[in-house]
Amino acid sequence: MASNRRAFLTATAVGALATAPTTATAVGTHPHPTTAPAALAELLDGNRRYASGHSRHPDESRPLRHQLATAQHPFAVIVGCVDSRVPPELVFDQGLGDLLCIRTAGEVLDEAVLASIQYGVEELRIPLVLVLGHERCGAVAATLAHLETGAPVPGHLALLVDEIAPAARRTRALPGDWAEHTMTAHTAWVRDAIRADPAFTSAQVVAARFDLDTGLVSLLP
């Protein structure tokens, strides 16, 4: 992480972003939470609907689309994986204007991700950041394969391996599923890195795991 770029971003870039509304209001089919605990409860409620096959698919109407054309008040930042099986709006049964989603393979951080989180937390005043890892993550599998075989990592994929490898090394000796241990350790590390960043002190930051089999999201300790 280039600290000089971080400092530059913190000092200058956010002030130049588009001005956001300063109050959270009821938008769409349900009122948006304005606190982190309420935002988390809404996400977990929506996930239970999704996992049980009772999704409501809220906030997709044409009138809402028009309403949102001039302002947005998302209530949670989701930092998740690009995996096609883990789309946050579906997993949490939310809709337009509800979530600010940032997705990279293996939910790895870089300056663009951090700047996007900062936009949500500072400019849109979002109270909650949720880092979402998931089982059988391809970025984790690629990292473990590299560590096991020593094979070179092609092109841009090296960034993913560099970011995930520390969690893989820390958990290699543990009994059980190395990929699962790596995913949870890496997801918790991403959470802790966001928590430790002074740019995000106004938000609560949590980490969670998505289960591909059950569809359920569970918070990491």
Range in contact with Zn ion (rule: CB under 5 A) among 135-143, 146-154, 176-184, 192-200 = 135-143
Closer CB to Zn ion, residue 96 or residue 139? 139
**Residues 72, 97: Cα–Cα separation, whole Å:** 6
Q: Which of residues 176-215 bind Zn ion (CB under 5 A)?
A: none
Minimum CB separation of residue 105 from Zn ion in Å reads 6
Asked if 95 and 89 touch (Cβ cutoff 8 Å), the reply is yes
Structure tokens at 38: 């309420």
Minimum CB separation of residue 193 from Zn ion in Å reads 18
- Is 83 an interacting residue with respect to Zn ion (CB under 5 A)? yes
**Residues 35, 93: Cα–Cα separation, whole Å:** 19
Asked if 43 and 126 touch (Cβ cutoff 8 Å), the reply is no
- Is 108 an interacting residue with respect to Zn ion (CB under 5 A)? no
- Is 128 an interacting residue with respect to Zn ion (CB under 5 A)? no
Closer CB to Zn ion, residue 82 or residue 199? 82
Minimum CB separation of residue 121 from Zn ion in Å reads 23
Closer CB to Zn ion, residue 68 or residue 109? 109
Range in contact with Zn ion (rule: CB under 5 A) among 4-12, 31-39, 79-87, 206-214 = 79-87
Asked if 220 and 208 touch (Cβ cutoff 8 Å), the reply is yes
Letter string b/e over residues 57-66, b meaning 16 or more CB atoms within 10 A of that residue's CB: ebbeeeebee
Minimum CB separation of residue 139 from Zn ion in Å reads 5
- Is 137 an interacting residue with respect to Zn ion (CB under 5 A)? yes
Closer CB to Zn ion, residue 68 or residue 140? 140
Range in contact with Zn ion (rule: CB under 5 A) among 29-37, 137-145, 183-191, 209-217 = 137-145
- Is 135 an interacting residue with respect to Zn ion (CB under 5 A)? no
Minimum CB separation of residue 106 from Zn ion in Å reads 6
- Is 81 an interacting residue with respect to Zn ion (CB under 5 A)? yes
Range in contact with Zn ion (rule: CB under 5 A) among 24-32, 49-57, 83-91, 109-117 = 83-91
Number of residues that bind Zn ion (CB under 5 A): 3
Residues within the interface to Zn ion (CB under 5 A): 81, 83, 137
